[in-house]
A and B are shown apart, each in its own frame.
Chain A
Amino acid sequence: MVKFNRFTLDNGLRVIVHEDHTTPMAVLNVLYDVGARDEDPGQTGFAHLFEHLMFGGSVNIPQYDEPLQRVGGENNAFTSNDITNYYITLPATNIETAFWLESDRMLSLAFSEKSLEVQRNVVIEEFKQRYLNQPYGDVWLKLRPLVYKKHPYKWATIGKNIKHIEDARIEDVKAFFKKHYNPQNAIMVVGGNITTDQAKQMAEKWFGPIPAGEKYYRNLPQEPAQHEERRETVMAKVPLNDVYIAFHMPGRLDEGYYEIDLISDILSRGHSSRLYRNLVKEKQLFSEIHAYNMGSFDRGMFVIEGKPSENVSIEDAETAIWGELEKLKQQLVPADELTKVKNKTESTLIFSEMSLLDKAMNLAQFELLGDAAMFNHETEKYLAVTAEQIQKQSREIFRKENASTLIYLAEELIEQVS
């Protein structure tokens, strides 16, 4: 049970305080309600590029990192398709420095040309390092547009291609800031060795004077239901073949989400999971295989990914995966197996409370989804799932017409055969 207090400033900034006096540290987490899904299709990768620019100095503070390191703090940020999240951890006695820094960059950035030029290059190198210069690194650049035809989830957070990043101009940066970075579009969580009164006083002092700005109303094209099986095969300089099968699934708040999250555990969590047990260990068809759900806010993606063993054909590998999915559709999950994945989920949630930062991030995300208190009701939602509901969701999503299959064929292997 994670206790918290909450208030809203006049300018619309929502603030949550989680007091934890067992630690000498504090965290300040600011979530902006903007992700890659909010980007213009002609300017993809912008939310993430912008996250980099948030460290390039703000209107009154030329250097973001330096003053924070000087008081013993650390920070980082991440961008997803749904949100952009910034966080600071520092000794609680110096928490005001975090308020000072975060409020100034919410007020306004410095918008320096030099910073834009450098961060464009850094992000281009990140693009190469993580997406292009790794075996299978470009999978999300290929799989997303196969799965999504309308919804902006069809591009990855890094962007559709490097050109969009190369073309970013300072006017675009300013417009993006104005549209998304203001108190009304943000949620702040203060956690650690601080009282709610102190947090409130500092929030009023540093964030109170920031103009409310314009509220951004999201109106994204929704993804229509899929009615045909999709498939793409790529030859690539990869050492092994690789199979990805992706299915549309309910969004984070939709009915069926918890069932499907448990299905991913049944299939692939730990060495007792079905895919590992049956396909890696017993039938030895794969050297590794995983199933996961992306946790997207809008209609999401359930992915199964496996590398077939040498001498196993792609057809046999796919047939074996579908065999496991058919079992979920035809037979109820045995009681013991369902208890097992529920127990695992319960203990994972308890262990996650060991980390102050994890707690702060979770509170922010649940507040954005509607109510921070939802964080404390996660376990019971998983525990309430029945075997019948799992079967129902399996039948719903594991259909060929709802599947997008992406195959990597290793060039070297092909050459050896021919």
Chain B
Amino acid sequence: MKLERTIAPEFKAIDSIELIRPEQISLDNGCKIFCFNSADQDLIRIEWIFNNLRFDPAKPLLNVAVNTMLTEGTSKMSASQIADHIDFYGAFLQVDYGYDHSQVVLYTLNKHLASTLPVIEDLLSDSIFPESELVTFIRNQQQKLQVSLQKNDMVARRKFNKAIYGNTIYGLGAEFDDYKTLHREDMLVHFKQMYQPSNCTILVAGKVDDSAINLLQESFGTNWSNYSVKADITQPELQPASERFYFVEKPDALQSAIRMGLPSINRTHPDFPALQVTNTVLGGYFGSRLMANIREDKGYTYGIGSGASSLNKGGALFIATEVGTDVCKAAVNEIEKEINILKTELVPEHELSLVKNYLLGSLLGSLENIFSHADKFKNIYFSGLDYGYYDVYTEVIKSITANEIMQTANEYLDLDKFYKVIVGKY
């Protein structure tokens, strides 16, 4: 029988997604631990996640600086001793600052957990932010900032966030002089208030056996106590700017960075899954309309995409790309054209079914290992949602109609409300 190469093999749509749910342990000091156990490999990832403190415009860098400098010294250990110890045991220690939360992450083989965990206990309870380390930190950050500011896409992102979020923690783009507002005393106060058990959620994924749990309970239950002042985790309301167009001219640019979009809903809103599907059609995957038109048909860019972000205080919908300076205006026109098509024409059936299958496949594919299951939990837990969210999400993907996508586009993609940032030539 001759092989039929022109017809695709039969395939199955993804029916359901199995998510591994955590076991919860609540400690007396208010700290919560969620465990995702998989005995496949003798390794473990532990994340200590803290809500950021209320943004202070006069001292805008406190949240990020305190997080980044957690590895720079405690009363007992210098920065180099901390690094030596963690590295000696082949472990990986990271600090990650985010818009809503900041975290400390440890990756280690189980056999070295007992040796590495006390270091984390020490930094979370007793970081001292030595003055000499702070001076080095500021100097190096200021140098790195100079390099970042030469990158058009980076400048566009900063302008865009500032425009849609205003003078808040989300809108913050550190300026050179902001570093002058950093003082050790403020950092110590910030640290004590933020990095305390009642403001901490611990996520453990990997081989979470009894011995691991006992070690965690000892270090972060028994040995770790709360500060006298509760963490103030409220945040000022977002303040979108009234000016909607920003152009930063770079006379030598070969490409212009474009970033455009608007404030939007977050994951807690019932329309969010539909918005995610709509965003996918527009610019959320390689076959998206923006990629098909602006890269694959016109060749204006190496890449273009859109995204729907979800933060505690609200979300944003945005499109980002870098294009040849000679086609910058044309690219903006094409982006707007694609948005208008989405608002006025039904997505054809063959495209809609493709996007549905693609989204379900990539949800399944995003569950690569036990760490991914913990990541899925993070998405819902910190939005105040439960696992029902994923049932709704998969149901919306399966059932959404072309009409509903058009409605969603009309509701959430109002071009008159778009913020537009161009860095380069226009």
Contact = CB atoms under 8 A, between A and B. Distances in A.
Contact of B255 (A125, A271, A355): A125
A414 to B, nearest CB: 15
B88 A336 contact: yes
Contacts of A205: 3
A150 interface: no
Contacts of A67: 8
A99 B9 CA distance: 9
Contacts of A339: 88
B307 interface: no
A130 B83 CA distance: 33
B295 A122 contact: yes
B41 A94 contact: no
Interface stretch (B121-129, B232-240, B357-365): B357-365
A291 B16 CA distance: 46
B57 to A, nearest CB: 27
Interface string A202-218: 00011001000000000
Name the residue in A59, A71, A99 with the highest tally of chain B Cβ atoms < 10 Å from its Cβ: A71
Interface stretch (A37-45, A255-263, A276-284): A276-284
B369 interface: yes
Given A128-B254, A133-B253, A288-B144, A22 B40 contact: yes
B12 A93 contact: yes
A20 to B, nearest CB: 10
Contacts of A126: 302
Contact of B361 (A71, A118, A271, A280): A71
A94 B11 contact: yes
A363 interface: no
A238 B143 CA distance: 12
A223 interface: no
A309 interface: yes
Interface in A298-315: 307, 309-310
Interface in A337-355: 339-340, 343-348, 350-351, 353-355
Contacts of B86: 270, 272
B281 to A, nearest CB: 12
Contacts of A90: 361, 365
Chain A residues touching B, majority SS: helix
A227 interface: no
A135 B147 contact: yes
Contacts of A239: 146-147, 149-150
Contacts of B150: 134-135, 237-239
Contact of B287 (A66, A119, A272): A66
Q: What interface size band does chain B fall in?
A: 35 or more
Interface string A230-265: 000000011110000000000000000000000000
A84 to B, nearest CB: 18
A287 B12 contact: no
A270 B92 CA distance: 9
Given A129-B302, A287-B139, A104 B5 contact: yes
Interface string A399-410: 000000000000
B139 A118 contact: no
Interface string A15-42: 0000000111100000000000000000
Contact of B323 (A100, A120, A125, A284): A125
Given A336-B88, A350-B41, A72 B364 contact: yes
Interface string A326-369: 00000000001001100111111011011110000000000000
A343 B322 contact: no
B270 interface: no
Nearest to A71: B11
Interface string A56-90: 00011100011101111111000000000000011
B43 interface: yes
A91 interface: yes
Contacts of A346: 90
B14 interface: yes
Nearest to A26: B365
Contact of B286 (A65, A100, A209): A65
A94 B12 contact: yes
Interface residues of A, number: 82
A21 to B, nearest CB: 11
Nearest to B143: A287
Nearest to A103: B5
A188 to B, nearest CB: 17
Contact of B324 (A61, A128, A307, A356): A128
Nearest to B3: A209
B107 A351 contact: yes
A97 B71 CA distance: 48
Contacts of A309: 139, 143
Interface string A83-117: 00000011101101101100110010000000001
Name the residue in A75, A118, A287 with the highest tally of chain B Cβ atoms < 10 Å from its Cβ: A287
Name the residue in A75, A103, A121, A238 with the highest tally of chain B Cβ atoms < 10 Å from its Cβ: A121
Given A128-B255, A134-B151, A355-B369, A65 B287 contact: yes
B252 to A, nearest CB: 7
A129 B322 contact: yes
Nearest to A136: B147
A336 B12 CA distance: 54
Interface in B141-197: 143-144, 146-147, 149-152
A170 interface: no
B282 to A, nearest CB: 15
A130 to B, nearest CB: 8
B345 interface: no
A118 B299 contact: yes
A15 B296 CA distance: 32
A251 to B, nearest CB: 27
Contacts of A373: none
Nearest to A118: B299
A132 interface: yes
Given A25-B365, A133-B253, A272 B87 contact: yes
Given A74-B361, A100-B8, A354-B369, A240 B43 contact: no
B88 A69 contact: no
Contact of A25 (B152, B357, B364): B364
Contacts of B3: 205-206, 209
A66 B369 contact: no
A24 B371 contact: no
Contacts of B41: 350, 353-354
A169 B284 CA distance: 32
B242 interface: no
A100 B9 contact: yes
A133 B152 contact: yes
B215 interface: no
Nearest to B324: A125
Given A121-B299, A287-B140, 9 more contacts: A22-B40, A61-B5, A71-B361, A120-B299, A121-B298, A272-B83, A277-B83, A340-B87, A347-B109
5 contacts: A74-B285, A93-B11, A96-B11, A125-B255, A344-B87
Counting from the closest, the 9 A-B pairs by CB-CB distance are: A72-B361, A121-B299, A343-B90, A271-B83, A347-B90, A239-B146, A272-B83, A287-B143, A126-B302
Interface of A: 22-25, 59-61, 65-67, 69-75, 89-91, 93-94, 96-97, 99-100, 103-104, 107, 117-126, 128-130, 132-135, 205-206, 209, 237-240, 269-273, 277, 280-281, 284, 287-288, 307, 309-310, 336, 339-340, 343-348, 350-351, 353-356
